[in-house]
């Protein structure tokens, strides 16, 4: 039996036009109007009120049951994570080797969390989350994994509650939430400890939507401002967990149109008020975007247009939009990293452009009769846009984790369209229930299989290489995994193969030189680093590693010469100043070394190593 809010509606014609401002009393009156005269005579007055309250209580019980199923089902699917290890893909950078937080809570660490630049990002709430994990559990990987699982389960439950409250459509809301909870494309966001920022920012996204819906419901009451401020606070916290959610103000405007109906002719608030109230959200989003760009620019994560031209980025953007949808419908060959493709097949680009144009045209054509199509599609396009690759950060062309929140828009399109297409069919409810059960079962089975690959770095990157043997990033990371196991020769082979596949993959050179150095082949390691500097002279990582090996061989003048070349190319590189200070100190030039340490400390004040070396130079 459909829930009460689907059977009865205020306008008496279309239950989807129900607006959450309407009170329980108005719903009860609408229910009475829908009853036949005989039924009304039987139920009028006190009897009708009892009947309504009984149905309402039953609806609440069903809601609680659905929330429990979503949470328990999600925990069961991801339960194996409790025994999994850290991954050598940012887990070391974020937690294991991060001296600012891996010892637990400290006031100095608390201040560091709000500084810009480390790991090419600014997300203090995510750092605080990792810090308290280390305070409570030390460096054990099991508890942080389970915390990610609980956050994901909570996000799924909140998504169901928010959608159900906005649309008053129980089963469709439940299906969207179940797809979100159990789809294998979201495994990366949950199983990766360093990606805590994804599930954490999504939690504040859902809470912001919840507070906003309450604000819209209570516009005529004095406490509506409280919910408005709560929405702002949750949005700010979400931005400080992961700035990808900057598009929330645009999504709120979409929801104002459908399903909240604030742009309807009979709406109480004019269009201007609806838009003006979003200005504080846009200001927060703009500030977060600026800080994120500065952090990524300082860390060198933002690729220059010289290396990745704008036209290549645009084509990759189109293709990525298509690939995400493809993986939502057919989630196979999921990898932890999809290397950036500098040359895309022309046919794939053409198909992507046609697909995007077709879906956009269809959604716009039905914007009045099926507004959920355009809302869902713009949700998907808009929320994914900040990580679409137009501003390229990192070496990936796309990433499963980027689809975490954007995929909700596609789920809404699918579930609502399936209902509308079949609602005139005989026994359409049974048909949709059967299809939904099959889809969710398939998603759950694939999720269980995908979770297993995250057991450790070896299983994860071997899976990526099985999908694409030319995945040079996965191959170099697998080489690092073998290096950490002490299997140096296989590690060298993997790292060598990575730079053969992609000769401009600069990090691969440093990995290979590190393995050669561990094998005692320092001359070969220096030759590899010099080869990298011939390709890209401004790559300070290779130059610093080269200088370090020269230090160890007591070749301080040679190290000084290499570092001075690097500073000619980039005088603002703090690492080069630090290593040059070491070289000068090794030659006994302590006054000059002090100046280099001072400059390094000025350029990178959050690094505790530089002031220590500066103090040693002053003492000398």
Q: Each residue of 181-221: pLDDT tens digit?
A: 999 999 999 999 999 999 999 999 999 999 999 999 988 78
Average pLDDT (284-307) is: 74
Q: What is the mean pLDDT of the chain?
A: 86
Instruction: Report CA-CA distances (Å) from 475 to 256, 333, 336, 450.
Output: 47, 16, 12, 19
% of the chain with per-residue pLDDT over 70 = 85
Q: What does the pLDDT average to over 269-285?
A: 87
Beta strands in 61-137 (DSSP E): none
State the pLDDT confidence band at 267, using cuts at 50, 70 and 90.
Answer: low
pLDDT at 195: 95
Answer whether 561's CB lies under 8 Å from 541's CB: no
pLDDT of res. 78: 98
- State yes or no: pLDDT of 3 exceeds 90: no
Residue bearing the bigger pLDDT, 356 or 16: 356
- What per-residue confidence (pLDDT) applies to 299? 61
The pair of three-digit structure tokens given for residue 604, joined into one six-digit string: 């990178």
Q: Which residues of 71-106 are buried (b: 16+ CB within 10 A; e: fewer)?
A: bebbeebbeebeebbbbbbebeebbeebebbbeeee
Taking 90 as the threshold, does the pLDDT of residue 286 lie above it? yes
> Nearest CA to 231 among 205, 201, 251, 257?
205
The pTM of the full predicted model, rounded to 2 decimals, is 0.87
- The segment with the largest mean pLDDT, out of 216-230, 286-300, 402-416, is 402-416
- Whether residue 513 is preceded by a cis peptide bond, meaning omega within 30 degrees of 0, is no
How far apart are the C-alpha atoms of 158 and 209, rounded to whole Å? Answer: 9
Answer yes or no: is pLDDT of 14 > 50: no
Q: How confident is the model at residue 436 (pLDDT cuts 50, 70, 90)?
A: very high
Banded model confidence at residue 244, pLDDT cuts 50, 70, 90: very high
pLDDT of residue 2: 38
pLDDT tens column, 318-370: 999 999 999 999 999 999 999 988 888 999 999 999 999 999 999 999 999 99
**CB of 378 closer than 8 Å to CB of 254:** yes
Provide the pLDDT confidence category of residue 300 given band limits of 50, 70 and 90.
low
CA–CA distance, 274 with 263 (Å, rounded to integer) = 8
What is residue 29's predicted lDDT score, i.e. its pLDDT? 42
- The DSSP call for residue 35 is S
SS (H, E, C) 431-476: HHHHHHHHHHHHHHHHHHHHHHCCCCHHHHHHHHHHHCCCCHHHHH
Across the range 497-521, mean pLDDT stands at: 93
For residue 21, pLDDT over 50 is answered with: no
pLDDT, tens digit (0-9, with 9 covering 90-100), for 545-554? 888 888 888 8
Q: In whole angstroms, what separates CA 2 from the centre of its chain?
A: 35
Q: According to CATH, where is 1.25.40.10 located in the chain?
A: 465-619
For residues 70-93, give the mean pLDDT. 96
Cβ neighbour number for residue 22 with a 10 Å cutoff: 16
CATH 3.20.20.60 assigned to 465-619: no
pLDDT tens column, 464-486: 999 999 999 999 999 999 999 99
The answer for residues whose C-beta is within 8 angstroms of residue 577's C-beta and 6 or more apart is 567, 596, 597, 599, 600, 603
Quick one: what percent of the chain has pLDDT higher than 90?
61
Q: Look at residue 553 in the predicted model and tell me its pLDDT.
A: 86
Mean pLDDT of 35-40: 42
- Residue 545: what pLDDT? 87
The per-residue pLDDT for 271 is 77
Of residues 567 and 126, more confidence is placed in 126
Report pLDDT digits (tens) over 591-605. 887 888 788 777 777
Look at residue 84 in the predicted model and tell me its pLDDT: 97
158-167, 323-332, 336-345, 412-421: lowest mean pLDDT where?
336-345
CA 53 from chain centre, in angstroms, equals: 41
Helix (H) or strand (E) holding 275: helix 271-276
Question: Measured between alpha carbons, how far is 581 from 578 in angstroms, rounded to an integer?
Answer: 5
CB 172 within 8 Å of CB 435: no
Among residues 100, 197, 199, 86, which one has the least CA distance to residue 143?
Answer: 86
C-beta of residue 389 within 8 angstroms of C-beta of residue 313: yes
Give the 3-state secondary structure of residue 272. helix
3-state secondary structure 341-392: CCCCCHHHHHHHHHHHHHHHHHHHHCCCCCHHHHHHHHHHHHHHHHHCCCCC
CA distance 518 to 490: 13
């Amino acid at each position: 039996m459909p829930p009460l809010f689907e059977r009865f509606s205020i306008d008496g014609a279309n239950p989807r036009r129900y607006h959450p401002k309407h009170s329980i009393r108005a719903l009860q009156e609408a229910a009475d109007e829908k009853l036949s005269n005989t039924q009304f005579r039987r139920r009028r007055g006190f009897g009708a009120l009892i009947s309504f309250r009984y149905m309402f209580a039953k609806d609440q019980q069903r809601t609680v049951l659905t929330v429990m199923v979503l949470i328990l089902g999600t925990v069961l699917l991801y339960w194996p994570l409790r025994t999994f290890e850290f991954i050598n893909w940012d887990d070391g950078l974020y937690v294991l080797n991060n001296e600012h937080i891996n010892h637990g809570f400290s006031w100095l660490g608390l201040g560091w969390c709000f500084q810009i630049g480390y790991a090419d990002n600014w997300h203090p709430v995510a750092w605080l989350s990792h810090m308290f994990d280390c305070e409570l559990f030390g460096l054990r990987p099991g508890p942080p994994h389970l915390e990610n699982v609980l956050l994901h389960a909570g996000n799924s439950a909140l998504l169901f509650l928010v959608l159900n409250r906005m649309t008053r459509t129980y089963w469709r809301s439940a299906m969207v939430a179940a797809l979100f909870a159990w789809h294998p494309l979201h495994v990366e966001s949950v199983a990766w400890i360093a990606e805590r920022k994804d599930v954490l920012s999504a939690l504040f996204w859902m809470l912001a939507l919840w507070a906003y819906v309450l604000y819209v419901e209570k516009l005529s009451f004095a406490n509506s401002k409280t919910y408005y401020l709560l929405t702002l606070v949750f949005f700010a916290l979400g931005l400080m967990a992961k700035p990808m959610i900057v598009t929330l103000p645009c999504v709120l405007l979409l929801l104002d149109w459908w399903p909240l109906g604030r742009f309807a002719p009979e709406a109480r608030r004019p269009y201007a008020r609806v838009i003006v109230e979003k200005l504080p959200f846009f200001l927060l989003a703009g500030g977060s975007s600026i800080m994120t760009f500065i952090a990524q620019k300082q860390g060198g994560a933002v690729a220059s247009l010289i290396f990745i031209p704008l036209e290549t980025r645009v084509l990759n953007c189109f293709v990525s939009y298509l690939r995400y949808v493809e993986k939502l419908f057919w989630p196979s060959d999921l990898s932890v990293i999809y290397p950036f493709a500098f040359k895309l097949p022309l046919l794939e680009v053409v198909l992507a452009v046609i697909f995007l144009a077709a879906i956009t045209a269809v959604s716009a054509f039905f914007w009045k009769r099926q507004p959920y199509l355009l809302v869902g599609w713009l949700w998907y396009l808009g929320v994914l846009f900040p990580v679409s690759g137009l501003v390229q950060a990192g070496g990936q062309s796309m990433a499963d984790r980027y689809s975490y929140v954007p995929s909700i828009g596609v789920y809404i399109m699918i579930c609502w369209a399936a209902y509308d297409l079949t609602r005139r069919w005989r026994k359409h409810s049974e048909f949709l229930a059967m299809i939904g059960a099959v889809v969710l079962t398939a998603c759950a089975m694939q999720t269980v299989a995908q979770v297993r690959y995250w057991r450790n770095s070896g299983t994860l990157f071997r899976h990526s290489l099985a999908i694409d043997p030319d995945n040079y990033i996965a191959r170099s990371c697998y080489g690092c995994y073998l290096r950490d196991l002490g299997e140096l020769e296989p590690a060298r082979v993997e790292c060598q193969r990575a730079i053969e596949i992609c000769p401009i993959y600069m990090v691969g050179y440093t990995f290979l030189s590190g393995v050669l150095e561990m094998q005692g082949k320092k001359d070969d390691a220096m030759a590899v680093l010099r080869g990298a500097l011939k390709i890209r002279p401004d790559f300070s990582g290779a130059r610093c590693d080269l200088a370090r090996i020269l230090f160890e061989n007591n070749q301080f003048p040679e190290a000084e010469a290499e570092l001075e070349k690097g500073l000619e190319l980039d005088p603002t590189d703090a690492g080069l100043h630090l290593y040059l200070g070491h070289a000068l100190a090794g030659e006994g030039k302590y006054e000059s070394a002090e100046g280099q340490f001072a400059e390094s400390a000025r350029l990178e004040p959050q690094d505790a190593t530089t002031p220590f070396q500066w103090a040693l130079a002053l003492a000398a």
